[in-house]
Amino acid sequence: MLDKIRQLLEEVNNLHAATPEEVEQLRIKYLSKKGEITMLMNDFRSVPAELKREVGQRINELKNRANERINSLKAEAAVQETATGHIDLTRTAYPLPLGTRHPLSIVKNEIVDIFSRLGFTLAEGPEVEDDWHVYSSMNFADDHPARDMQDTFFVEAHPDIILRSHTSSVQARVMERQQPPIRVICPGRVYRNEAISARAHCFFHQVEGLYIDEKVSFKDLKQVLLLFAQEMFGSDTKIRLRPSYFPFTEPSAEMDVSCTICGGKGCSMCKGEGWLEILGCGMVDPAVLEANGIDSTRYSGYAFGMGIERIANLKYQVKDLRMFSENDVRFLEEFTAAN
């Protein structure tokens, strides 16, 4: 048997093949189910016990060598084939891995889509803003605590230049350019000086809405928000408005939706409340209209603002906010089907 192994090893070392088909013939001859090396391995049973160790080792060496040789012949033949122009153009291509849309883009697109069906158009503003657009024009008093260092990132050399801490600044950008009727939806990134944790980040994303025309009332706001909630979370969704305060709206409210998990019965997601907070809203304060060049005796309007991460969390139950900015492909691939 050792002789046979030696002889086959010799053969294997001297194999030659010019085309992939010839390589395949050699593979069949030596390594297929009925190949010579495979048959040899089948005979291993009959080797006397005292020789088993040596014969076993040799057979393994032979098999590994044959695999190596045939693989390198295969590679050579493929190169040869390309070099001589014998490329099989009908062969199927390797599938290219496709990227996935980021979950925040998916949710942002969905929000923008719902409001565009209601006649809202897209507006954008800069992320590096001035104090006027972020705060003063939005009716924040000079000593309002939100201007404090804790919230706002300042550009060091220019205390008036800041990273916007909310997309409400785009309201001012739109109003200074355009007279009513105004119907805009403004998605974008915002920055706040917060320690990064599972529940907070120094940047996140918001969508702002602004609607200004003659005779716009709170019931218009409520109807649009109900429609949005039902499109976003399902037609059984209920909304609840709670009085709140924002400098740029009067009256102001926060909106809850019936829990997207339990439907309102109470569960761990809604902490037994049956409701989940999703956005802030209100009637645009006349002082804001006037500061931005719009006649508040003729026009009224509503505004709302929501966090995209918040909505994405409710839809996909992402427990840790940091996942959204780490770009771990294992996380991103979870959203392939949601594209």
CB of 305 to ligand DAH, least distance (A): 2
Is residue 167 within 8 Å of 305, Cβ to Cβ?
yes
Alpha carbons 87 and 210: distance in angstroms, whole number: 60
Give exposure, 138-171, as e/b (b: 16+ Cβ within 10 Å).
bbbeeeeebbeeebbbeeeeeeeebbbbbbbbbb
Q: Which is nearer to ligand DAH, 80 or 193 (CB)?
A: 193
DSSP 45: G
Query: 168: closest CA among 199, 139, 200?
Result: 139
Which residue has the CB atom at the shortest distance from ligand DAH? 305
Q: Which is nearer to ligand DAH, 191 or 335 (CB)?
A: 191
**For strand 121-122 and strand 182-191, is the pairing parallel, antiparallel, or unpaired?**
parallel
Q: Which is nearer to ligand DAH, 62 or 225 (CB)?
A: 225
Q: Which stretches within 84-188 are classed as H helix?
A: 103-117, 131-134, 168-177
CB of 270 to ligand DAH, least distance (A): 21
Q: Which is nearer to ligand DAH, 251 or 266 (CB)?
A: 251
CB of 128 to ligand DAH, least distance (A): 17
Positions of E strands within 62-124: 121-122
CB of 188 to ligand DAH, least distance (A): 11
CB of 105 to ligand DAH, least distance (A): 20
Residues of this chain that bind ligand DAH (CB under 6 A) = 166, 168, 208, 246, 249, 280-282, 303-305
Q: Which is nearer to ligand DAH, 218 or 331 (CB)?
A: 218
